[in-house]
Each structure stands twice: as C-alpha cells, then as structure tokens.
Structure 1
Amino acid sequence: MQNLAGILTETAARFPERTALKLDDTVVSYAALDAMSAKVAGLLAARGVVPGERVGLMMPNIPQMAFVYYGVLRYGAVVVPMNPLLKAREVAYHLQDSGARLVFAWEGVAGEVSAGAEEADGGVEVVPVDSSSFMGLLAGADSRPDLAEVDGEDIAVILYTSGTTGRPKGAALTHRNLRSNAIVSRSLLDTRETDVIFGGLPFFHVFGQTAALNSALLAGASISLLPRFDAGKALEIIERDGVTIFEGVPTMYVGMLRHPAVKDTKLSSLRGAITGGSAMPLEVLHEFEDVFGIQLLEGYGLSETSPIVSFNLPGEGRRAGSIGKAVDGMEVRMLDPDGADVPVGEIGELSVRGEGVMKGYWRNDDATAAAIPDGWFRTGDLARFDEEDNIYIVDRKKDMILRGGYNVYPREVEEVLYEHPAVSEVAVIGVPDPLHGEEIVAVVGLREEAVPADDAARETLIADIARFAKDRLAAYKYPRRIELTDALPKGPTGKILKREIKVSAPPRPLLDETPTA
C-alpha cells in the first residue's frame, strides 16, 4: 500500500476502539478518525477537487487537523500545511505558489486566511473549521473510504521552508519519503500500541508530522494533543494522561525545567524523550535527565529529509554533543565546496542521500539543482564525523561568523554561555564590524530568578557573563557584546530565529582588551 493514509486505515482495522487522539476531554478512536477522514475525502469530491491538486491546511494540533490531513491524502490530493500564525500576505504566497485548490482554515485564523485566499491569483475557496459547524458539514458529506491509488513517488505533502534566504520554498515530500521516515521513527523509539505520545510538536511542521502523528498511527499508539505549547500545560498532560514518550524542541525542555510545577509533577510514566529542530545545549540536556530521570535522545533532520537523518539510539553509548549516526535508509557525507569528501574529524557540509530526501522544491528547478547537484542534498549545516561515524554539527553554514579571518561557530559559543547560571536561552550572531569584518554578539534571555533589579545590577551581570565567556573561549571567539532580552524570537516549533534578532548599535568592547584579536 503506497498511499501514506494507509497507516491510518491499517491501524484502524486492527485497533478500531483504541484512542488515537485526545485533546483534554475530547477522545477520538481510530475508527472515528478513519471515518472522519473518509468524510473529508467525500467533501473534497463534492467541492470539485481533483486527485493531485493541492489543498491548504491551516490549523493547530486539534483532532480536525488529523481528519483533514489523512482525508486529503486518502483522496489522492496533496497536503499544504501552513503555520496558523501566518499573516494574509504570507497565506496568499503559500496558496498561490502551491496552486492550492482550496484551504481548510481554523476559526482562530479565519480572517487572515480569507484575506490571503482573496489575494491569491484567481482566489482560493476557504472551508472554515470551527468547533461546531465543521462537524455538521462532515456529517452531511458522502464517505469515500477507499484509498486513492498513488505511486510511492507521487507528492503527498508540500512543506514550505522557513525562508532563511529569500522567499520560502516548498519541499515536495512523497508518500514513500514520509512513510519510510515514519517507520524509522517508530523503530528508533520502539513505539508501541500502549504508548501515549505528547502531541505538542506542531503537525504543520515535518518533525511533528513524522515523529508524532505518522509514527504513532503506525504503532497504534495514542497522541495527547496540545494546540499551543505551554510549559505548565505540558507538565499537566504528562501526569494526567500518563505520557510515555515526550517529543519536543530545546526551548520546550527549557520551559518545563524552569516552570515551578515541575517539582510537583509526577513524571514516572515517561520512558523516553527526544529532541530535534535545533541544537540541544549540553547543559540543558543534563539538567533534563537529572530532573526527569530518563535519557534524552537527540536527532537531526530537515523539512527536505522528511525529516530524520541521524539519531542517538536508546541503550547505546552516547557521545557528548553528537546527533548520532545516520538512520536506516539514509547516507551522510561531509563534503568540501568542490563536492569531495573531507577527512574524518574535519569540517565539511553535511550532505544526505536516501529514502527520506525530498523529490525537489515545488516548481523550482533551479533551487532543486542547487540543493541536489549530484544526487546528494546539501543541508547547509557544517559538521564532522568521528572515527565511529558519529556526527557532530558545528553550525549552520550561513550562521558561521568570520571574525578577523577566523571562523567562529556560534553553537560553540552558545554551549559555553548556557553553562552560566543566569542564562536561560541564548543566540550568538555576527554583525558587521569595520575592523574585524564581523563581530560577535550574544543575545541572552535570563532565568527568572536572575533578572537584575536595576541598571547597575544589569551592567554588573552583563560584565560577569562576558568575563565568563572570555575565560573559557579563545580570544577571537568570545562575544564582545552581551545584550539581555525578555525573550528571543522563535519559529512555530520553538526554534530560535536568529535572522529576526536585531541589535541596536555597533558592538563595543565590554572588557579591557587590545583592539586586534
């Protein structure tokens, strides 16, 4: 069975009464999820959608999200998931670029979606998804329970990347891409039908789709949904629903560790936790394991790879700072700018080939050729192998700072700053500098108990953090400027968005130093 929606129909046949989705008091069985997705397929047929056409989907992690996701797939159309935080102009771009036929829009974003749908060329039909009338709409739709026949290489989902450079590009992921990666995810975590998965990773993002939604349905497990991440609510869900596997990004773990309720939350149901999306600071990883009493496993992936490329395996010796080894079905190389392998231990661009790698960028042959020039997808991440094929991310290729002729990798500086007792979160960026080309700035979010009471205390703390870094890093690496902030900008999964960080003035030396290196 090639259609990705087959993971739902197969499991619903095995465990019809088992809980598939739970949102507080709302419980959806596998049989009900299967039936609702068949109704969505019938609704698409009634609205004149043709298999292969694109269908937008803009809603948070609510049961209706899964109804529509699998309904579009089983009908043979293509899912275009969108972040509910997008504004009308961004919505219009996603709909127009994908050529979406219609869009399902959660009631909380109806205004932005309607405006964006009107702005798109030719207009796009909007199907509102609210708390009452949408279920009535499905009740009146014909059921189309059959799975559309598709080839494994047919596109299932178009995921728009974050647009770090230029406008977002649509990563075209096939039914085979997503199914194979869901199988890998299930195997890595040994997900079982008795598991309860934390469903706080957004399903409009590939990490949540694969590691939570698709993986859980393959196993027949339950997912406890959280539409918008809140650390206190996440802790409540763990205890209330007996969550066994927690999946999140580093900022989620930081949020729970800093929440006062963590001391009183019963965490004994947890047997596993994974992180990805951005680098997990070692200090946070060790703190989580001490407090939660379970191992936290870090993996690596991208939207273009469905997403899992590498993973630290449970029960195996973990190398500090490593994102593990390439998973089954994926190959990894470290390449120099000419496409040649670099020696073990040296830094190259992490490049990937395998079952999870996208078909290409939607309607963008030039971008596809640049990203996959020779069958190997260039990730834009700088990394190295050790002698046992463990992978270590050094930094984003585009994030690397060139200061006075020296390469500075922000992640290395961030790891040091996370060790400071006042630091809750941090991003290190480069800013133009007339002397050194680029200068290093650290933008720091503080732990609640460390927030200074006045300007004098603030300056003292800044100097202390700067000195802490200077004592632990080479002269060309430590940040010459520390900026304190209430919160760093984050994307839909909680990943820190460095491109949105603004610093107000040229950096100045914080400590006595010579003006060279």
Structure 2
Amino acid sequence: MNLAQYLENSARNYPNKTAVRFEGQEVTFQELDIACNRMAQGLSGVGLGPGDRCVVMMPNGIEQITVYYALAKLGAALVLVNFLFRMHELEHILTDSKPKAFIGSEPYLEEIRKVLNKGEGPSIRIALGIKHDQDFKDLENVYSDKKEFSTYPADDNDTLNIIYTSGTTGVPKGVMLTHKNLARTAKILAEMRGSIDPKTVIIGALPLYHVYGITSVMNVSMYLGLTIKLFPLFEPERVIEVIEEEEQTIFFGVPTMLNRLIQLASENPPKRASLRFCISGGASLPVEFLKRFEALFKTEIHEGYGLSEAPVCVENPYGKVTKPGSIGLPIPEFSARIVDNNGNDVRQGEVGELLIKGPGVMKGYLNRPEETRETIKDGWLYTGDIARMDEDHYIYIVDRKKELVIRGGYNVYPREIEEVLYQIPDILEAAVFGVPHEDLGEEVAAVLFLKEGAQTDTKAIQEYVKERVAPYKYPRIIKIVKEPFPKTGSGKILKKEVKKQYSSLE
C-alpha cells in the first residue's frame, strides 16, 4: 500500500475536521488531501515520477506536510534533510542520493545555493517563499488546478524516505525506509496505544524531517485522524500554553525537551494539565527527568526506543506496567534479542548488543550493500546499542557500544554515570566519555552545563557521584561549561562533538 492512503482515509472519514494548526493557519483533512493531489499533479507536470528522488529541505509547516504526502502519492522517494545543514553536508547527500529534484524554503537556501552554483545537484529546483528567483521555481506556482490525482500503487519494497544518519560513528549513510516500513509502524503504534479521544490534540514540536517526528507525530495522526498542533520549533512556553488550553493532548519529545519543560513548570506550575500521556524517545531518558515530569504534569511518560534504521520498535506498554529506566517491550509484530560478540543470546540480566526484527526494519543503506549485510543478518538489525533484559523481558539501554569506556580493564558505561549526575538539580546537561590515559588506557571525564544561578562546584559534584557508584566509575575529570551542548535538529545531544571539543581534558 501507499502510505498516503492514511491521509486519504481520514479525508473521507473526517473531511471537515482540522488536520493541522500552524501559526494561525488551519487546514482540514479534506483540504490537505486536495492540496496534496494538486501538488502531486504539479510535480508530475515538471517531470517527477515514481522512483525519482527528491531532496526535501523545509522547516515544519503545512506546506512541508503537503510536499511529503504529495511525493508519496506520486511514488517518489523523499530525501529528508535538516534545513540547517551546511554546504559540505549537502554535497555529500546530493552526491550519494543523486536526486532529480530539490524542494526547499526561504530563508534556508543559502547553503544549497553554494552547492548548486558549483554546477552540481538536481535539475528540478523548487522553493517556498521566493519571488523572481532564477535558481528556483516558486512552490506556489507548482500546484495544479486539478483536485484529483491517482495515487501510485506502491509496492511493499518501494522506498519512500531516505534519511541520513547523524553520522555519530562516521560518514552519514542514507537509510532507506519503504512504504511498508512506515505504514506498518504507524498502524501498529496507533492501535497499540488504546482508545484515544478524537478531540485529542497531538503537540508537534519535533522536526518533521526526523524519523521520530515523521512516524509518531505525522503518520500516526494521519492514520487516526487526529489534529496536530504544529510548531516551527520547540518553544517550552508555547507547549505549556497548549497543554493548559486543550481538553486532551499527547506530547512526543526527547529528554532535552522534557528537561526544559520541567525547568519552566518548576517555576510556574501549569494551571491545568491536559496530557493524556507523553512519549520520550530519541535518546535515553534519565529516570530523574521522568519522575519530575510526571509529578509536575500529572501524567505518565512511556519511554520508547527507535533509530533511523527501525523507527519506534520498543516502547513501555499501555495499560500495563511501565518501568522507569526501561525502554519497555518490543511493540506488536517486533522481536528483540540481546547477544554477545559472537551473536549468541546472553543470559537474562547480562549485557550485550540489542537486536531488533520486525516490519519497520529498514530496507538497507543506500549504495552500501556491504554495510547493509553487516547491519542486518537473517532479518535481525544489529543496533550497536548495549542493553540488558529483565525477568519480564523489559529492555534497558546501557549505552552505545562505541561509547563504552574501559578504565584500567573495567567497563564504565557513560549513561549510568549521567543518570547519577542528572539527580543533581543544578545540572541541565551532562556528557560522560573516556579520554586517553597513559596508565589506565582511558579515564572517565564529565562535561556539564548548569542551570542559571547554580551553587554547586566540581568538587561537590564529584563527591556526590563517588558516593553512589563503584570506585573505578566516578569521573576524575569534570569540566563545567558556559554554553549549552551542540544538538541534532531533534534535540539529541551530539556527544561526539562534545567529546571532540574536550578530548584533551586532563
């Protein structure tokens, strides 16, 4: 099936219901579906067809959602790109994906212009918000007058999204997700979360070029016919306003977003809390964040897990036990294993690499058959995450395989130390990693960003951690910085960049 059928179904079932609210604009499901048909017809008219690739580099907005489902209807593949990417990142993506078209938006065209001015890139170039521009065709002029469009009958294996990994472990790779990957995952997530009141509003603060936002905010909402209150970017004050104003809401976020909401709500408690539940993903959620958030907003957080290669595949269940610190159980139709370095299942409670199997596992990496074979074996996706499973089969992420610190022969998992650090109220952001040590091989270091007016210091922090972990684990090196950490577009801390900046700590 074609993923766009979810929008078409909701347009038939709830034609006059608001699909998206964004910055004073509203569009119903029927209006959105017609806009997508007109856009698909127009894109076909400029030369795009089934199987063609189109780079989409747009911020959140109704137009971005329209472009997404129009390209899906057309049978084209979207190469989704962060609108803040720089020239060299864009050069790599365009060289690797070889797109036929580019669709972007002002004021985020400067970097792509540098690439295009070198004579590289796609021949079809479209942008929103431009006037009399020789380099781009105005997106508003692409819409056809025809309100009907025959949606392409996509095969299960047809690629719909190509999403480049953030490159935390090397050169970014293009993850190919099919119509089946995205449609099945959205349907499973929508149905496993129980009966949701049709009046429920989905708070869309995640970027819709990221697989988390695409899956949980956009595709699930289209399947269920729920209204999305979409934001151009995450603004905690505005999110709390929506939580106070609406009857029922659901919020999807990452730990850094939750922490910002905690800080704000601690100073000014919400007048009322409409959150039916909250989903945390994108990075490991410190248990202390979970406790504070649930107390302040009188709701329940369901921590989940996914990655570009398998969007949302594990989640704390609904109507059953949720375990703080755990990412939960494999969602329906998915399976999980924990294995050692030889690929053998470890005993219950032991740590190993997390493997995932299910209908959401990617088709593969674009142009990288060997890396695809190394990552997917017998249908099992090797995630690169170290995890353990308890007696109830709940999964706990211990750390990234490549972030393990080996200090004098002892394994130290940075996430464990970060969990302890986040128990200190003055700490807003923490990154723990290993730095070279002549005698021990590696030493444990922590870089911290504190809240404004914090009273603590490095000695007090070190003593706090020292009292709570084994002697070889606490950070001997602590650096307090004055600026927040660099993050991905989805708000995930770029630990690789933090480590690179402070790798010479002693």
Q: Same fold (TM over 0.5)?
A: yes
2:257 & 2:121 partners in 1: Cα distance?
A: 40
Q: Given that residues 310 and 327 in structure 1 are in contact (C-alpha distance below 8 angstroms), is that contact kept between their aligned partners in structure 2? A: yes
* Residues 1:157 and 1:504: Cα distance change in structure 2 (over 3 Å): closer
1:251 corresponds to which residue?
Answer: 256
Describe the SS at the equivalent of 1:109: coil
1:416 corresponds to which residue?
Answer: 420
Please tell me the residue identity of whatever aligns with 1:63. Answer: I
* Residues 1:504 and 1:149: Cα distance change in structure 2 (over 3 Å): closer
Task: After TM superposition, list the pairs within 5 Å mapping 1:85-484 onto structure 2.
Answer: 85-119=84-118, 121=120, 123-130=122-129, 134=138, 136-140=140-144, 142-190=146-194, 191-242=196-247, 244-259=249-264, 263-305=268-310, 307-450=311-454, 461-484=457-480
Is structure 2 residue 68 aligned with structure 1 residue 66? no
Q: Given that residues 41 and 144 in structure 1 are in contact (C-alpha distance below 8 angstroms), is that contact kept between their aligned partners in structure 2? A: no
For residue 235 of structure 1, report the CA deviation from its aligned partner.
Answer: 1.7
* Residues 1:69 and 1:342: Cα distance change in structure 2 (over 3 Å): same
Describe the SS at the equivalent of 2:169: coil
For residue 449 of structure 1, report the CA deviation from its aligned partner.
Answer: 3.0
Match among 478, 497, 500 for residue 500 of structure 1? 497
Q: Given that residues 117 and 125 in structure 1 are in contact (C-alpha distance below 8 angstroms), is that contact kept between their aligned partners in structure 2? A: no
2:134 corresponds to which residue?
Answer: none
Q: Given that residues 156 and 173 in structure 1 are in contact (C-alpha distance below 8 angstroms), is that contact kept between their aligned partners in structure 2? A: yes
Please tell me the residue identity of whatever aligns with 1:492. Answer: G
2:181 & 2:413 partners in 1: Cα distance?
A: 32
Describe the SS at the equivalent of 2:125: strand
1:50 corresponds to which residue?
Answer: 49
Describe the SS at the equivalent of 2:83: coil
Q: Where does structure 2 lack aligned partners over 5 or more consecutive residues?
A: 132-136
For residue 374 of structure 1, report the CA deviation from its aligned partner.
Answer: 3.0
* Residues 1:491 and 1:308: Cα distance change in structure 2 (over 3 Å): same
1:34 corresponds to which residue?
Answer: 33
1:291 & 1:346 partners in 2: Cα distance?
A: 35
2:488 & 2:97 partners in 1: Cα distance?
A: 21
Please tell me the residue identity of whatever aligns with 2:488. Answer: G
Match among 484, 487, 490 for residue 487 of structure 1? 484
Q: Given that residues 114 and 126 in structure 1 are in contact (C-alpha distance below 8 angstroms), is that contact kept between their aligned partners in structure 2? A: no
Please tell me the residue identity of whatever aligns with 2:285. Answer: M
1:209 & 1:397 partners in 2: Cα distance?
A: 27
Describe the SS at the equivalent of 1:440: strand
For residue 328 of structure 1, report the CA deviation from its aligned partner.
Answer: 0.7
Superposed CA offset, 1:215-236 (max 9, x none): 0010000000111112122222
Describe the SS at the equivalent of 2:171: coil
Please tell me the residue identity of whatever aligns with 1:298. Answer: E
Q: Given that residues 235 and 262 in structure 1 are in contact (C-alpha distance below 8 angstroms), is that contact kept between their aligned partners in structure 2? A: no
2:503 & 2:53 partners in 1: Cα distance?
A: 45
1:320 & 1:264 partners in 2: Cα distance?
A: 23
Please tell me the residue identity of whatever aligns with 2:34. Answer: A
2:362 & 2:9 partners in 1: Cα distance?
A: 25
Q: Where does structure 1 lack aligned partners over 5 or more consecutive residues?
A: 453-459, 509-517
Please tell me the residue identity of whatever aligns with 1:412. Answer: E
TM-score (norm 1): 0.92
1:321 & 1:263 partners in 2: Cα distance?
A: 27
Describe the SS at the equivalent of 2:35: helix
1:514 corresponds to which residue?
Answer: none
For residue 258 of structure 1, report the CA deviation from its aligned partner.
Answer: 1.1
1:213 & 1:345 partners in 2: Cα distance?
A: 36
2:84 & 2:267 partners in 1: Cα distance?
A: 28
1:124 & 1:93 partners in 2: Cα distance?
A: 17
Superposed CA offset, 1:10-68 (max 9, x none): 11011111000001310011111101111121121111112101011111110001000
Q: Given that residues 92 and 120 in structure 1 are in contact (C-alpha distance below 8 angstroms), is that contact kept between their aligned partners in structure 2? A: no
1:396 & 1:482 partners in 2: Cα distance?
A: 21
Superposed CA offset, 1:290-325 (max 9, x none): 1000011100011101x1111111231222311111
Superposed CA offset, 1:134-188 (max 9, x none): 5641445544521101111111111111112221111110111001110122123
1:342 & 1:473 partners in 2: Cα distance?
A: 25
Q: Given that residues 54 and 76 in structure 2 are in contact (C-alpha distance below 8 angstroms), is that contact kept between their aligned partners in structure 1? A: yes
For residue 120 of structure 1, report the CA deviation from its aligned partner.
Answer: 6.9
For residue 507 of structure 1, report the CA deviation from its aligned partner.
Answer: 4.1
2:265 & 2:326 partners in 1: Cα distance?
A: 30
Q: Given that residues 198 and 243 in structure 1 are in contact (C-alpha distance below 8 angstroms), is that contact kept between their aligned partners in structure 2? A: no
1:247 & 1:140 partners in 2: Cα distance?
A: 34
For residue 7 of structure 1, report the CA deviation from its aligned partner.
Answer: 0.6
For residue 243 of structure 1, report the CA deviation from its aligned partner.
Answer: 5.3
TM-score (norm 2): 0.94
2:33 & 2:3 partners in 1: Cα distance?
A: 13
2:192 & 2:167 partners in 1: Cα distance?
A: 30
Q: Given that residues 439 and 507 in structure 1 are in contact (C-alpha distance below 8 angstroms), is that contact kept between their aligned partners in structure 2? A: no
Describe the SS at the equivalent of 1:224: strand
1:332 & 1:120 partners in 2: Cα distance?
A: 46
Please tell me the residue identity of whatever aligns with 1:57. Answer: V
For residue 97 of structure 1, report the CA deviation from its aligned partner.
Answer: 1.1
Q: Given that residues 92 and 117 in structure 1 are in contact (C-alpha distance below 8 angstroms), is that contact kept between their aligned partners in structure 2? A: no
Q: Given that residues 82 and 204 in structure 1 are in contact (C-alpha distance below 8 angstroms), is that contact kept between their aligned partners in structure 2? A: yes
For residue 505 of structure 1, report the CA deviation from its aligned partner.
Answer: 6.9
Q: Given that residues 182 and 210 in structure 1 are in contact (C-alpha distance below 8 angstroms), is that contact kept between their aligned partners in structure 2? A: yes
For residue 263 of structure 1, report the CA deviation from its aligned partner.
Answer: 1.9
Describe the SS at the equivalent of 1:398: helix
Please tell me the residue identity of whatever aligns with 1:432. Answer: P
1:144 & 1:379 partners in 2: Cα distance?
A: 42
